[in-house]
Amino acid sequence: EDLRVAVVGAGRMGADHVERLAHRVQRSRVSAVVDVDAGRAAQAASAAPGAETFSGLAPLLETGAADAVLLATPGFLHEEALLQLIEAGMPVLCEKPLTPDAASALRVVQAEAAFGRQLIQVGFMRRFDAGYRRLKEVIDSGQLGELLMLHHQHRNPNTPPGFTEEMVINDSVVHEFDAVRFFTGEEIRSVQVRVGRRTSLGDPAVRDPQHVVIETSSGLLAEVEMFCSAQLGYQVATQATFERGVVAIGGEDGLRITEAGHTGYEVPVGFVTRFRAAYDVEIQDWVDAVHAGAIAGPSAWDGYATAACCEAGVASQRHGGAVDVALAERPAFYA
Ligand code: ISE
């Protein structure tokens, strides 16, 4: 039997996931699309034959039209929805962020721990990217010795309307917080954000680019160039420095095109294209895990821990200096 998935939130990511579930993911189908905007719900649902549309989560849950939910509404709507879904015992893939701040994320963690089983997977799709997985294997194998440092570049073409200074951290650098935790298997101890020379080509309300230094619990340093209005397209790359070598991922992995007077690689236009394959693997793994009754991807704890890092990052943006990350005790449930 196909898993009946309801996609809640039919914006950019929601609509992309509808298309993915309808055409590329096996053993699942989109049974419902939920959005307050009926036109947007209908538009997204048109890519998935047989999908019903709903205006909210409550009517969806009442009809029993779904076995699992893919939550792709804006982050500020997640807490209420997640608490309802936990109560209903419904497996959910929640797009990042889990919630917009650490206190609300912790409430979700506690509700899930009280429920007693992992229901939530957080949409940190980079963990499913082929390059990320290869690098993680090299780190874990020890073949190049100890990992010493991580250098990240995260460049977006420009900022969407309404993008704020805090979103540089909460929306964008949140991925590197998760990446550093994924690669090292450690929590993050402190975060420092500095702003140097600024581009004249971005939104004047957003200082750009920003440089972030992350320190893990054992003292490993990672740094991030976060450039939100980089003009050139979308680039996410990492270089990892080991005792006996360096590994680079996220470089030139697309087509190399040679034409009159020029040779070079295409730059993806945005994250939906850059991480298309990673999203496919992420959603297929999640569907398979729900079928098997054992969700194991990035958890609500990862959502909470990264939200705490974001708070430290925003505090450092405002006041300077390295800011310690304060985490609540991790429920044994997430060990
Ligand atoms: C966006 O929300 C994402 O999640 C992308 O992965 C990230 O690269 C971008 O900076 C964010 O705005």
pLDDT per position as a tens digit, 184-239: 999 999 999 999 999 999 999 999 999 999 999 999 999 999 999 999 999 999 99
Residue 137 banded pLDDT, cuts 50, 70, 90: very high
Q: Is 172 in the pocket of ligand 1 (CB under 6 A)?
A: yes
Give the dihedral of Cα atoms 289, 295, 297, 303; nearest 10 deg.
Answer: 150
Give the dihedral of Cα atoms 17, 248, 154, 230; nearest 10 deg.
Answer: -110
Q: State how far the Cα of 60 lies from the Cα of 65, in Å rounded to an integer.
A: 6
What's the 130 CA to ligand 1 centre distance in angstroms? 18
Residue 182 banded pLDDT, cuts 50, 70, 90: very high
Say what the pLDDT of residue 251 is.
82
Q: Is 156 in the pocket of ligand 1 (CB under 6 A)?
A: yes
Cα–Cα–Cα angle for 92, 98, 100, rounded to 5 degrees: 150
**Where do the domains of the chain lie?**
3-125+278-297, 127-274+305-334
- CA quadruple 218, 223, 228, 231: dihedral sign: negative
Say what the pLDDT of residue 200 is.
98
Residue 96 identity: K
For ligand 1, mutation pick of 16, 127, 154, 172 (most atoms within 8 Å of CB): 172
Which letter does DSSP use for residue 329 in this model? P
Q: Say what percent of the chain tops pLDDT 70.
A: 100
ipTM (interface predicted TM): 0.98
Yes or no: say if 70 and 13 are a contact pair by the CB < 8 Å rule. no
CATH of domain 127-274+305-334: 3.30.360.10
Q: Which fold has domain 3-125+278-297?
A: Rossmann fold (3.40.50)
Q: Is 203 in the pocket of ligand 1 (CB under 6 A)?
A: no
For ligand 1, mutation pick of 13, 175, 226, 267 (most atoms within 8 Å of CB): 175
Tokens of 218: 């054992």
Residues 6+ apart with CB under 8 A from 214: 176, 177, 180, 188, 190, 191, 221, 222, 223, 224, 309
**Does residue 253 carry a pLDDT above 80?**
no
Q: Is 132 in the pocket of ligand 1 (CB under 6 A)?
A: no
Say what the pLDDT of residue 255 is.
83
Q: Which atom of ligand 1 is nearest to the CA of 226?
A: 10
